[in-house]
Amino acid sequence: MAIVAFLLALVAAPVFAADVGFEEVKIPNGAEPPLTVGIWYPTNAPATSHALANFTQTVAPDAPIAGNRLPLVVMSHGGAGWYGGHYDTAIALAQAGFVAAALSHAGDTFDDQSGVLQLWRRPAQLHRLVDYMLDKWRWHGQLDAARVGAFGFSNGGFTVLVAAGGIPDLSKIGPFCETQPDQDLCEALQHAGVDLHFAAQVPADAWVHDPRIRAAVIAAPSFGFAFGRAGLSGVRAPVQLWSAADDRHQPHPYYDEAVRDDLPRAPEYHVIANAGHYDFLPPCDARLSRLRPEICNSLPDFDRAAFHEHFNADVVQFFRAMLP
C-alpha cells in the first residue's frame, strides 16, 4: 500500500519546467502608444545570465513555453517603477509553473510621470494586459483562463484592489492631506502643484474591474484610506496583504491597516519587522545603491535578500493554494 500511495503522489504532484523563459512585448493600449510588458514563463530551454536594466536575471530569452493549463499572474509596479520592478518574484512564480506578466504603467514610470495622479488609468491598463495574455499572446492556448491572479506593490497594490472590485473615493485625499501635510504623499502633491481636490476630474466609469482575477497579493498599498468599507465591499477574491513595519513612506495606520480592516473577507496578513516601504523591491547591487539610495538602503539589521526568499516563497504558496 505504501508503494501505491507513493506512485499516486507522483502522479498527482505538479511537474514544473527546469528553467524560466522571458520575453518583452508591446501590447495595444487603446488610442495611446503600446504598453511594454515583461513575461516570465516555464521552459525546458537552458537559462543563462542576462541584463535586465540594473539587474541580472537567469532566463532563456524567447524560449518555447513548457506546460499546459498554466496559471497566470499579472503584476503591477509601484509609482515611478517599471515592469521589471519585481523580476525576482516573477522568476519565482515561473519556476513554480506560473506565467508572470508585468507591465510598465504608461504615465507612472521612472521616465514618464505625466499621468501619475490619473490613477484610473492603471486598472484599465492591467485589464488590457489580462486580455492580451488570454487572447493574443503567442502561447495563450497554454494558459488557464480560470486561474488568474494579480500582484501589486504600492500604487500597484491600489491598482490590484481596484481591478479586484474596489472603488476608491479620491475626494478623501484633499481632507487627508489637510490634516497630514507632512506625509510623503501630501508633500509630493504639494511640490508638484497638484490641486488636492482633483477628484472631480475622475470620469464616472473610470474604475475598471476584472472579475477574471481570482486571487490577489498586495504589498504596501497606496491610498488605502481612500477606499473604506463600502469601497472594498466588491473585493471578493482572497487577498494576501503585506505590510512593512517601518514604512515611513506610507506610515501606519492609513494604508495597509485601512485595507486590512475594511476588506469584506479577512486577508492573509503579514507584517514584516524592521522592513521599510521599498524592501518589497529586489535587493540592489552596489551601483544601483549609489544611484538610488532612497529605494535601495534598508535598516542595518534588515536582510532584504533573505526576506525576498521567504516573501517569494509565500507568494508562490498563496497563489498555488488559491489558483489550484
Full set of structural domains in the chain with CATH: 18-168+207-322 (3.40.50.1820)
Q: What is the model's pLDDT at position 302? A: 98
Q: What is the model's pLDDT at position 75? A: 99
pLDDT digits (tens, 9 = 90+) for 35-46: 999 999 999 999
pLDDT band at 114 (very low <50, low <70, confident <90, very high): confident
pLDDT digits (tens, 9 = 90+) for 193-221: 777 777 667 876 899 999 999 999 999 99
Q: What is the model's pLDDT at position 2? A: 42
Coil vs helix vs strand at 214? strand
The answer to whether residues 103 and 179 touch, using CB atoms and an 8 Å cutoff, is no
Rg of the Cα atoms in the chain? 20
In what helix (H) or strand (E) does residue 195 lie, and over which residues does it extend?
none
Q: What is the spatial distance between Cα 222 and Cα 152, in angstroms, rounded to a whole number?
A: 10
Q: Give me the mean pLDDT over the 108-132 stretch.
A: 92
Q: Which three cell numbers stand for residue 130?
A: 489580462
Q: What is the spatial distance between Cα 70 and Cα 68, in angstroms, rounded to a whole number?
A: 5
Q: What share of the chain is helix, strand, coil (3-state, %, to 5)?
A: 35, 25, 40
* Crossing angle for the helix pair 155-163 and 121-135, to the nearest 10 degrees: 70
Select from 188, 35, 191 the least CA-distant residue to 102.
35
Most distant CA atoms of the chain, gap in Å? 72
